[in-house]
Structure 1
Amino acid sequence: MHNFQPKTLFLGKNIVYLPSCHSTNDIAAEKIQNESIFDGTVVITSDQTAGRGQRGNSWEALPGQNITMSVILKPDFLSASSQFQLNIAVSLGVHDFLSRYIPEGLSIKWPNDIYVGNRKMGGILIENTLAGSRISHAIAGIGLNINQLSFSDSKAISLRLATRQDEFDLEQLIGDLCVSLEKYYLQLKNGHAATQKKQYLQHLFRYQENHYFKKDGIRFIGKIVDIASNGMLMIEVDGIIEHFDFKEVSFEI
């Protein structure tokens, strides 16, 4: 899963492949600490034994069947207060890549999960290193269910299940994913954050719809109306717009 050259300018030109590892994000972080690493380096594994998601959740992935990778970026053009712009760009890159196979029903669940209908296909975990007021390094961990056909969680789905196609070539998919990620990353670098935010909202799971949410164990009905510049979710509740951080609110699905 590493003998390929994506058609990109820089992203994915340097590949670090590990047959098995605990977490590609952890390996990427070690390399940033101990090596001079190229911008756009991709760490890939066939078997991630301790993958992480948002809120400290684990990520279930059978060996050799899915995409488990981390991209090392150097977005020093972004301030610490603009970190969520990178989440948006990476999420759009993943959405763009998958939309070639899933033209309908694909969405981004805030802050950066990938859903098909009400079922989760993938997740993104971005970990930033700051230097003063700028982002010196970012690690974008991406887990996508591709060829796996069974999950312990009934809400999980894979690309193969969603499309009912035969087994996908993971190397080809990773190369195509790198192209999409680079496209949106360079758009962000070239000053298109506002346009990307509009696209993100267009693809946002349950945007402008009334649904149940939960905070501190209490269910309430609200409508997602926007994303704040710091990434907080803006939900209209009883005519009042409230702001929620990543761990403050959950979706009732």
Structure 2
Amino acid sequence: MNVQSSENQVEALSPKTLFTGQQVIWLAECASTNTEAQQLLLKSRATEGCTVITDKQTAGRGQRGNSWEAAPGENLTLSVVWRPTFLAASRQFQLSMAVALAVLDWVSTVLGPDPALRLKWPNDVYYHDQKLGGILIENTLSSVGIQSSIVGIGININQLEFGVPTATSLARLTGRHYALPALAERLLECLERRYLQLRSGQTEALRHAYLQVLYRFQEWHHFEVEGRRLTGQIVSVEETGRLVVEINGQLQSFGMQEIKFCQ
């Protein structure tokens, strides 16, 4: 394993993996782990599974162009570099499903099996109606498919105070304080397990598992579409990742910017 740090920190990570997390860059502070990982890729310094972890992320990015805020030293913020060249560009969402399931697998090892743990489309991790973590995957495409992927993950671990009521953390749910390196090791192992499942072609098993834990799947709830509040139920997710919702007896599909969940 190759551990590097700009602050000469000694962070002993030894995940039981083939490649994910075998090269680790642990930074005291950075703007975004995804940005740092992208720079490593551009300089050809990132091996398959290279992982960038930081104690303090000052400009983290989330889905829909949102920022990701995390208290310094209290949460897991990391990015993993993979090269899923076996995936066509049209199948990018399969990687998103695999990563989301891996994070949920990992949370389940901490909290135990709990039906309140769900994946909110496309890949946020929820406990009941509160967000525990999020994922941002940035793919570089070639003429034949995906050239590289940077998988950014932010999970609330020890933080207890949040600026929004819809956020939570492992510490808030359990009343415990967690050692971040041990959790990071376990997360990397879960990520590689699901990635290898995807690489071996078990896409239907991944899709089935994803729908089983999808937040509000086959339940009637309120959504916002084009400024209108509508009632619908999620019935499926297309291969491209579009959300299929039944509204007024008709099936409609939506991209990420086209529909919002209402409380």
TM range (shorter): over 0.9
CA RMSD of aligned residues (A): 0.9
What does the per-residue CA deviation read over 1:46-66, in whole Å, with 9 as the maximum and x for residues that have no partner? 000011100111111000000
Q: Offset at 1:2? A: 3.1
Answer yes or no: is the 8 Å Cα contact 1:2–1:15 preserved in 2.
no
CA distance in 2, matches of 1:219, 1:133: 40
**2:208 corresponds to 1:198:** yes
Tell me the SS of whatever aligns to 2:135: strand
Look up the equivalent residue of 1:89 and give its one-letter code. A
Q: Secondary structure at the match of 1:97?
A: helix
- The equivalent residue for 2:244 is 234
In the alignment, is the contact (CA less than 8 A) between 2:105 and 2:190 conserved in 1? yes
- Mapped to 1, the partners of 2:181 and 2:260 lie a distance apart of 34
Aligned to 2:68, the other structure's residue is in SS state coil
Query: Number of matched residues?
Result: 252
Could you tell me which residue of structure 1 aligns to residue 155 of structure 2? Answer: 144
Equivalent in the alignment of 1:58: 67
Name the residue aligned to 1:215.
225
Partner amino acid for 2:137?
I
Equivalent residues of 2:37, 2:46 under 8 A apart: no
TM-score normalised by length of structure 2: 0.94
Partners of 1:98 and 1:2 in 2: CA distance: 22
**Displaced runs of 4 or more, over 6 A:** none
CA distance in 2, matches of 1:22, 1:37: 18
Please, what TM-score do these two structures have when normalized by structure 1?
0.98
Give the Cα separation in 1 of the matches to 2:28 and 2:206: 35
In structure 1, distance between residues paired with 2:238 and 2:22: 34
Deviation at 1:151, TM superposition (A): 0.4
Partners in 1 of 2:245 and 2:197 — Cα distance? 28
Residue segments in structure 1 that go unaligned for 5+ positions in a row: none
Deviations 1:129-180 (A, max 9, x none): 011121010000000000001001111000111122x210100000000000
Percent of matched pairs sharing the same residue = 46
Q: Does 1:8 align with 2:17?
A: yes
The equivalences for 1:1-253 within 5 A come to 2-102=11-111, 103-104=113-114, 105-164=116-175, 166-253=176-263
CA distance in 2, matches of 1:131, 1:25: 19
Could you tell me whether the CA contact under 8 Å between 1:101 and 1:163 is conserved in 2? no
- The alpha carbon displacement at 1:36 in A equals 3.9
CA offset digits 1:92-128 (Å, max 9, x no partner):
0000000122321100000010000000000000000
- 1:200-242 alpha-carbon deviations (Å, 9 max, x no partner): 0001000000000001211100100000010000001111110
Q: Deviations over 1:79-102 (max 9, x none)?
A: 000000000000000000001223
User: Counterpart of 2:61 in 1: which secondary structure?
Assistant: coil
Tell which deviates more after alignment, 24-33 or 226-235: 24-33
Deviation (angstroms), 1:33: 1.1
> Which stretch has the larger CA shift, 100-109 or 47-56?
100-109
Is this contact kept in 2: 1:67–1:146, CA < 8 A? yes
Secondary structure of the corresponding residue to residue 236 of structure 1 = strand
Q: Report SS of the residue matched to 2:110.
A: coil
Contact 1:23 1:52 in 2 (8 A): yes
Amino acid at match of 2:73: G
Q: Secondary structure at the match of 1:246?
A: coil
Shift of 1:18: 1.0
Secondary structure of the corresponding residue to residue 100 of structure 1: helix
